[in-house]
Amino acid sequence: MKVLIVGGVAGGASAAARLRRLDENAQIIMFERGPYISYANCGLPYYIGEVIKEKSKLQVQTPEAMSKRFNIDIRVNSEVIKILPQEKAVLVHDLVNDRIYKETYDKLLLSPGAEPIKPNIPGVDSDRVFTLRNIPDTYRIKDFIDSKKPKNAVVVGAGFIGLELAENLHNVGINVSIVELADHVIGPMDFDMAALVHHHIESKNVGLYLNDGVKALYHYDDYSEVELNSGKRIKTDMIVLGIGVRPEVKLAKEAGLALGSRGGIKVNQYMQTSDPDIYAVGDAIEVKDFINGSDTLIPLAGPANKQGRIAADNIAGRKSEYKGTQGTSILKVFDLTVAFTGNNERALNNAGLKYQKIIIHPSSHATYYPGALPMSIKLLFSEDDGKVLGAQIVGYEGVDKRIDVIATTIRAGMTVFDLEELELAYAPPYSSAKDPVNMAGFVAANVLRGDCDVIHWDAVEKRDKERTFLIDVRTPLEYSLGTIEGAVNIPVDNLRNRLEEIPRDKEIIIFCQVGLRGYIACRILMQHGFKSVKNLSGGYKTYEAVTK
Amino acid sequence: MKVLIVGGVAGGASAAARLRRLDENAQIIMFERGPYISYANCGLPYYIGEVIKEKSKLQVQTPEAMSKRFNIDIRVNSEVIKILPQEKAVLVHDLVNDRIYKETYDKLLLSPGAEPIKPNIPGVDSDRVFTLRNIPDTYRIKDFIDSKKPKNAVVVGAGFIGLELAENLHNVGINVSIVELADHVIGPMDFDMAALVHHHIESKNVGLYLNDGVKALYHYDDYSEVELNSGKRIKTDMIVLGIGVRPEVKLAKEAGLALGSRGGIKVNQYMQTSDPDIYAVGDAIEVKDFINGSDTLIPLAGPANKQGRIAADNIAGRKSEYKGTQGTSILKVFDLTVAFTGNNERALNNAGLKYQKIIIHPSSHATYYPGALPMSIKLLFSEDDGKVLGAQIVGYEGVDKRIDVIATTIRAGMTVFDLEELELAYAPPYSSAKDPVNMAGFVAANVLRGDCDVIHWDAVEKRDKERTFLIDVRTPLEYSLGTIEGAVNIPVDNLRNRLEEIPRDKEIIIFCQVGLRGYIACRILMQHGFKSVKNLSGGYKTYEAVTK
Ligand SMILES: Cc1cc2nc3c(=O)[nH]c(=O)nc-3n(C[C@H](O)[C@H](O)[C@H](O)COP(=O)(O)OP(=O)(O)OC[C@H]3O[C@@H](n4cnc5c(N)ncnc54)[C@H](O)[C@@H]3O)c2cc1C
Ligand SMILES: Cc1cc2nc3c(=O)[nH]c(=O)nc-3n(C[C@H](O)[C@H](O)[C@H](O)COP(=O)(O)OP(=O)(O)OC[C@H]3O[C@@H](n4cnc5c(N)ncnc54)[C@H](O)[C@@H]3O)c2cc1C
Ligand SMILES: CC(C)(COP(=O)(O)OP(=O)(O)OC[C@H]1O[C@@H](n2cnc3c(N)ncnc32)[C@H](O)[C@@H]1OP(=O)(O)O)[C@@H](O)C(=O)NCCC(=O)NCCS
Ligand SMILES: CC(C)(COP(=O)(O)OP(=O)(O)OC[C@H]1O[C@@H](n2cnc3c(N)ncnc32)[C@H](O)[C@@H]1OP(=O)(O)O)[C@@H](O)C(=O)NCCC(=O)NCCS
């Protein structure tokens, strides 16, 4: 069997290695357009920020070492420029010798990745404008910084790569501004959770222009200027674009392979394209959204690696299935860790899935043990059966742990009632006897069981002030330091004695700092015959973060 | 409804709080023998080690604050000395006024915890001999240290509390020796994983006496002496016993409540004892082992808290079930984190469950990003269907995350094939594109699929040297630095060219440093027609740790 692989990084190299392990006799040729294979895409921003100091670290494997170990014919600087499905062959452009040749295959695997989107705006083609995808891009940015010593940089786009770049440019002493068209950073998060990230970014003296797009770039001798849709202008020495990626489908398209509605290569659960001898994996393909079953693009390394492994299985004759992508992601944003898995509200709404949501603000570990840090967890779950549909977490320590646990429960099809029961590891340096994930389960389950209705910050904003009665159940001190306009202060510990102050003909909205005391207050009022009582989910902490 | 609760800490206080939230009208009286309620048992060792500096931090709730918030009648210094089930009443000894009175109940909840085992050896009753269970015990130890300035301490028993105490005594400058009757520390782990902990403890200049028990304690004016079964004698200034706990069942037993075979109070899934009006939770009860269904004692705070919540549900008339305990546990041992969940080998063998096992040594996160640290994961799984049965992890960073993910998969009844698919969060500071848990899944699944047989360190030790051929597939340098006696060195990258050096009539045992190269070598040999090829699981790293 002769197998050709296009693309020598996450999906391609993983497939090649796995295929060799499964089949010692296959002839495997791996083509890579660039000079490097198996590089650490995800490490590139950190090389720019001098967190990763050695160039060699960016290469997980070299062509020499990999071909030695796996007996693979690795051809770098070799671009596959055409697929000839009828002939079962590809045309390869040997970029070093500028020569084109044909190579035949029994099976072909495409893992060409995705390319950074470059908007069609004036000034975008300049040697002060960068995108980041591979090692050469990285060196280009790093060399520019080292030689030109830019003082200011504008990062366009506040997704993963944009934010990682912003942090890393900031790390090497550059003044950074971020421009984002949407109303919040990190598109796959909801606004209420992203708001926490906004505050953190601003606290680092990084400029954050939200709800604003780039209209044009102007380049002068000594500096450039970014003109925004709002008319604002930002002077800068360099511009980095991180506005997203687009699947590399040129080869596939020209070969007549089916593409999906989102523009990626269409594959079945075996990673097979519409041509059964051609497989595709990684950023170039469309995957099934694990939550709602729709077709989607999720360019992440974990899925790419796993898909490569699965494609190799199938090429080697083992039926192995890919069951969809949840989009579990994590991101360091300065001191913060931001992570999510599953669907956000927009995705759920688009898919027409009925959901409920809660926000809590637990501590990373037992508060009596030093170093406990706050985190915020938003949990989205099915209104019908409590199935966990998504989670977003922002915090410092232990965010990665909680997102992975929740991601696992989603994979298992578990419900919020299962979260209540999870038996997670507790000792004071690591967690609490009721882990934040358990706590999210309790709070969510209480909503579904009707033990405590919740209301969210936006509904509080929009409340009918005539018909609602807003109670701040925190202490007088907390109340005096800032509350929601119109709230009456009745501390939870006094509530039982002050019931007569609360009107029985209005909807009662309760809030405390994070939601816990509000819940207790809610339970007290409900059992004293108040009919419509709601607890502000996430409490004043979320309200303040989102509205201020 | 009038509910009495015996014990005001993890199980008892949680139940009281939950019950009030569910039932605003119940009369709730909580009795606590000691002066404190709701204390942080798990933090006590860290107060001794001055990691937790303020006494107040040890109390999560005070009687005043808790009764205010939850309208609970909290009676400290009040020991329940007898249950009168026929009368539905208890006798209470008011320890302050030394007065005994009767209190009736509709429902009674027992959460009396467990008491430290004190062996019956000469010299055990001395003011230089300590156990640790509650705040007064803690102050006793701390005061002794502050006033007597002991230079040396012996900790008897190398379980959780013993090791936490050893670390914390060491932290305040005391010379510590640990004595343990078994051949390894931390009973619920297997020897091969505990061996890693032994090396770490010894590296901290803490004495470790394994396979040895305490025969007698001798106390002289200026010092004491611990005599071991082996005849060894250790001079010391203080002795702390951490040899385990025994459920507090005196009350229950005298009241005629059924006890289980392990000596704990017997309860059903609703936390009901043999008397349907009496519930029991926490360290005092027997639980179902979640893996093998047997009755067992698992004294942990997470389960105690959850059982308290479930008991309250049932008392309040909601059917709520406890489904068993996995024993998910975690422990800081100096710089190490040690964690486990599910069954160890002994438990599986006792239960007659057929299992397979693998050990891997992944990194906490991508190695190209600074700060990646090694960890070792042992995974135990069903030979039949791959169901995850247990895991043990020793390492530095990210151990808590991986144990929680695996604990979650156990709760969900997932298999090693599911571990392969888990979509966990990856960015370089947090993990690798194939997370250690995925990796454990791959390796385990490869065993079950017959892609690579594994052999374990003990079988290598006991191998028939005539019939086996041992290959070290690491580099010549690694080989020269230490290998398994009798091993031939054929680096994996040369293997394909040196097949003729390998006998075809012997069992081939391959090893590398951690198992990865060994696996690749194994695949190569199997496909070149070698019949019996086995890879040493965990590689030389495990072998060396266990045998040296
Ligand atoms: C800066 C950056 C940071 C990232 N951080 C993270 C992160 O933290 N976590 C995460 O999960 N993901 C991250 N990603 C995404 C992750 O790297 C990708 O999802 C993953 O690499 C996709 O694998 P792939 O094999 O599809 O494509 P790639 O890994 O991009 O490999 C595709 C390769 O194919 C080559 N190629 C394309 N066309 C041809 C052709 N015609 N002929 C020959 N070769 C060709 C390309 O040169 C490229 O090297 C990051 C990506 C970038 C760029
Ligand atoms: C030093 C130490 C460290 C620990 N570390 C951890 C850890 O890191 N992680 C973990 O999961 N677990 C840990 N534990 C175990 C955990 O604390 C227990 O599992 C948990 O507290 C059990 O809850 P419980 O309600 O059953 O008993 P307890 O919390 O012990 O409460 C029982 C209470 O009942 C009172 N009582 C007993 N009899 C009577 C009576 N007749 N009348 C009135 N009152 C009575 C006792 O005085 C006691 O205060 C640790 C325990 C100790 C001692
Ligand atoms: C370097 C690269 C080619 C390695 O691919 P790989 O060999 O499949 O992956 P690994 O080195 O992680 O090894 C995993 C294999 O070793 C096995 N293995 C790992 N540890 C083992 C152990 N201790 N014992 C036995 N087997 C082990 C696994 O089971 C797996 O084999 P399988 O797939 O046949 O089951 C590929 O990962 C790559 O190109 N990475 C860099 C690019 C990239 O991912 N970029 C995006 C992220 S920055
Ligand atoms: C202090 C103590 C009495 C508190 O018990 P508790 O009130 O049940 O527990 P918590 O304070 O964690 O609050 C959890 C409750 O608040 C709810 N809650 C938590 N955060 C919330 C939020 N943000 N919004 C709404 N509700 C929230 C939970 O749903 C849960 O209520 P439920 O059980 O009715 O579902 C008890 O935990 C205790 O005694 N702890 C110390 C002893 C101990 O555990 N020792 C061993 C470990 S060291």
pLDDT in tens, A100-142: 999 999 999 999 999 999 999 999 999 999 999 999 999 999 9
Q: Does residue B404 have a pLDDT over 90?
A: yes
Residue range A144-150: average pLDDT?
Answer: 98
Q: pTM for the whole thing?
A: 0.98
ipTM reported for the complex, 2 dp: 0.98
pLDDT on residue A92 = 98
Q: Does residue B433 have a pLDDT over 90?
A: yes
Q: B38: Cβ below 6 Å to ligand 4?
A: yes
pLDDT on residue A72 = 98
Summarised one tens digit per residue, pLDDT across range A227-240 is 999 999 999 999 99
Residue B263 and residue B183: Cα distance in Å, rounded?
Answer: 25
pLDDT on residue B548 = 85
pLDDT on residue B89 = 98
Average pLDDT, chain B: 98
Residue range A406-434: average pLDDT?
Answer: 98
Measure B14 CA to ligand 4 centroid, in angstroms: 7
Summarised one tens digit per residue, pLDDT across range A487-532 is 999 999 999 999 999 999 999 999 999 999 999 999 999 999 999 9
Cβ contact A42–B305 (<8 Å): no
Average pLDDT, chain A: 98
Tell which of A23, A368, A527 to mutate to test the B interface (max B CBs under 10 Å).
A368
Task: List Cα–Cα distances, A59 to A41, A131, A399, A402, B439, in angstroms.
Answer: 9, 19, 28, 30, 20
Is residue B158 within 8 A of residue B195, CB to CB? The reply is no
Q: Does residue B361 have a pLDDT over 90?
A: yes
Residue range B371-394: average pLDDT?
Answer: 98
Q: What are the tokens at A543?
A: 């309200």
Mention every residue, 6+ apart, whose C-beta is less than 8 A from residue A112.
A6, A7, A248, A251, A282, A284
B115 — phi, psi (to 5°)?
A: -110, 145
Residue B127 and residue B239: Cα distance in Å, rounded?
Answer: 9
Residue range B249-264: average pLDDT?
Answer: 98
Residue owning the nearest CA to atom 12 of ligand 4:
A434
Tell which of A290, A423, A517 to mutate to test the B interface (max B CBs under 10 Å).
A423
Residue range B419-433: average pLDDT?
Answer: 98
Catalytic residue set of A? 42
- SS3 state at B60: coil
Buried b / exposed e along B390-408 (16+ C-beta atoms within 10 A): bbbbbbebbbbbbbbbbbb
Summarised one tens digit per residue, pLDDT across range A441-474 is 999 999 999 999 999 999 999 999 999 999 999 9
- SS3 state at B224: strand
Summarised one tens digit per residue, pLDDT across range B143-169 is 999 999 999 999 999 999 999 999 999
Residue range B162-190: average pLDDT?
Answer: 98
Which residues in chain A touch residue B411, judged by CB atoms under 8 angstroms apart? 418, 421-423
pLDDT on residue A379 = 98
Residue A423: pLDDT band with limits 50, 70, 90: very high
- SS3 state at A82: strand
pLDDT on residue A267 = 98
Q: Does residue A548 have a pLDDT over 90?
A: no
Which residues in chain A touch residue B69, judged by CB atoms under 8 angstroms apart? 492-493, 520
Provide the percentage of residues in chain B whose pLDDT is more than 70: 100
Is residue B368 within 8 A of residue B547, CB to CB? The reply is no
Residue range B397-426: average pLDDT?
Answer: 98
Residue A339: pLDDT band with limits 50, 70, 90: very high
Summarised one tens digit per residue, pLDDT across range A109-118 is 999 999 999 9
**Alpha-carbon torsion (B291, B293, B298, B304), positive or negative:** positive
Q: B281: Cβ below 6 Å to ligand 4?
A: no
Identify which of A166, A462, A283 has the alpha carbon closest to the alpha carbon of residue B433. A283
Q: What is the DSSP string of A434-461?
A: S-HHHHHHHHHHHHHTTSSEEE-HHHHH
Residue range B317-331: average pLDDT?
Answer: 98
